[in-house]
Amino acid sequence: MKEKPLQVLLVEDNAGDARLLREMFRAEGPGSFELTHLARMSEAVAHLVRGGVDVILLDMGLPDAHGLDTVRLAHAAAPDVPIIVITGLDDESLAAGAMKEGAQDYLIKGQIENRGLPRALRHAIERHRMHSETDLIRTNQLQFKDEFLSHVSHELRSPLTAIYQFVTLLVDGLAGEVNIEQHEYLGIVLSNVKQLQSMINDLLEVTSIQAGKLMIEPQRTSSSEAITYTVDTLQGAAIAKGITLSFDIEKPLPSVWADPTRVRQILIILVDNALKFTPENGEVKVKAHILEKDPSFLVFEISDSGCGISPDMTERIFERLYQASDPASAGRQGLGLGLYICKELVARQGGKIWATSVAGNGSVFSFTLPVFSLSSLIAPALRKDDRAESPVTLIVTEIGSKTGWLSENVRTEHSHWVRDVLRHCLHSELDVLLPKMGQSGAAELFFIVAIADVIGGKAITKRIQEKLDASEDIRKAGLTHSTSYRSIATIKRSAGQSRDEFLEMVTNQIQESMNEEISSRMVVNGQ
Partner 1 sequence: MDNKKILIVEDDPDVRKGLHLRLKANNYDTVFAADAFSSMVEARKHMPDLIILDLGLPAGDGFVVMERLQSVPALSVIPVIVVSARAGVANQARALKAGAKAFLEKPVDNAELLAVIRKTLGELAPPEDAPVHDLGSV
Residues that bind partner 1 (CB under 8 A): 154-155, 157-162, 164-166, 168-169, 171-174, 190, 193-194, 197-198, 201, 204, 208, 213, 215, 233, 403, 405, 407, 409-410, 412-413, 416, 476
Work out how close the CB of 161 gets to partner 1 at its nearest, in angstroms, rounded to a whole number: 4
Residue 204 or 364: the one with the smaller Cβ distance to partner 1 is 204
What are the strands of the beta sheet with 283-290, ordered from one edge? 244-249, 283-290, 297-304, 363-370, 353-357
Name beta bridge partners: 401. 479
Residue 52 or 478: the one with the smaller Cβ distance to partner 1 is 478
Helices (H) and strands (E) in the chain, counts: 14, 18
Residue 21 or 474: the one with the smaller Cβ distance to partner 1 is 474
Contact 488, 516 (CB under 8 A): no
Among 32, 312, 344, smallest CA distance to 216 is for 344
Work out how close the CB of 155 gets to partner 1 at its nearest, in angstroms, rounded to a whole number: 8
Q: DSSP readout, 22-72?
A: HHHHHHT-TTSEEEEEE-SHHHHHHHHHH---SEEEEESEETTEETHHHHH
Residue 272 or 398: the one with the smaller Cβ distance to partner 1 is 272
Residue 82: CA atoms inside 13 Å, Cβ hemisphere, count? 22
Residues in Cβ contact with 462 at an 8 Å cutoff, skipping those fewer than 6 apart: none
Residue 139 or 195: the one with the smaller Cβ distance to partner 1 is 195
Work out how close the CB of 170 gets to partner 1 at its nearest, in angstroms, rounded to a whole number: 10
Residues in Cβ contact with 301 at an 8 Å cutoff, skipping those fewer than 6 apart: 286, 287, 288, 364, 365, 366
Work out how close the CB of 71 gets to partner 1 at its nearest, in angstroms, rounded to a whole number: 41
Work out how close the CB of 178 gets to partner 1 at its nearest, in angstroms, rounded to a whole number: 12
Which helix (H) or strand (E) segment holds residue 413: the answer is helix 408-424
Residue 162 or 524: the one with the smaller Cβ distance to partner 1 is 162
Residue 4 or 154: the one with the smaller Cβ distance to partner 1 is 154
Work out how close the CB of 121 gets to partner 1 at its nearest, in angstroms, rounded to a whole number: 48
DSSP state of 3: P
Work out how close the CB of 43 gets to partner 1 at its nearest, in angstroms, rounded to a whole number: 47
Work out how close the CB of 335 gets to partner 1 at its nearest, in angstroms, rounded to a whole number: 13
Pairing of strands 444-450, 389-401: antiparallel
Work out how close the CB of 188 gets to partner 1 at its nearest, in angstroms, rounded to a whole number: 13
Work out how close the CB of 195 gets to partner 1 at its nearest, in angstroms, rounded to a whole number: 9
304: left (phi over 0), alpha (psi -120 to 50) or beta: beta
Among 203, 165, 196, smallest CA distance to 321 is for 203
**Helix extents (H) in 211-279:** 223-241, 260-276
Q: What gap in Å lies between CA 94 and CA 90, rounded to an integer?
A: 9
The total of other beta-carbon atoms located within 10 Å of residue 483's CB is: 22
Q: What gap in Å lies between CA 432 and CA 452, rounded to an integer?
A: 11
Contact 18, 12 (CB under 8 A): yes
Residue 31 or 236: the one with the smaller Cβ distance to partner 1 is 236
What residue type is assigned to position 462 of the chain?
K
Work out how close the CB of 274 gets to partner 1 at its nearest, in angstroms, rounded to a whole number: 17
Q: In 56-92, which positions are buried (b, 16+ CB within 10 angstroms) versus exposed (e)?
A: bbbbbbbeebebbebbebbbebbeebbbbbbbeeebe
Residue 47 or 276: the one with the smaller Cβ distance to partner 1 is 276
Residue 338 or 456: the one with the smaller Cβ distance to partner 1 is 338
Residue 172 or 248: the one with the smaller Cβ distance to partner 1 is 172
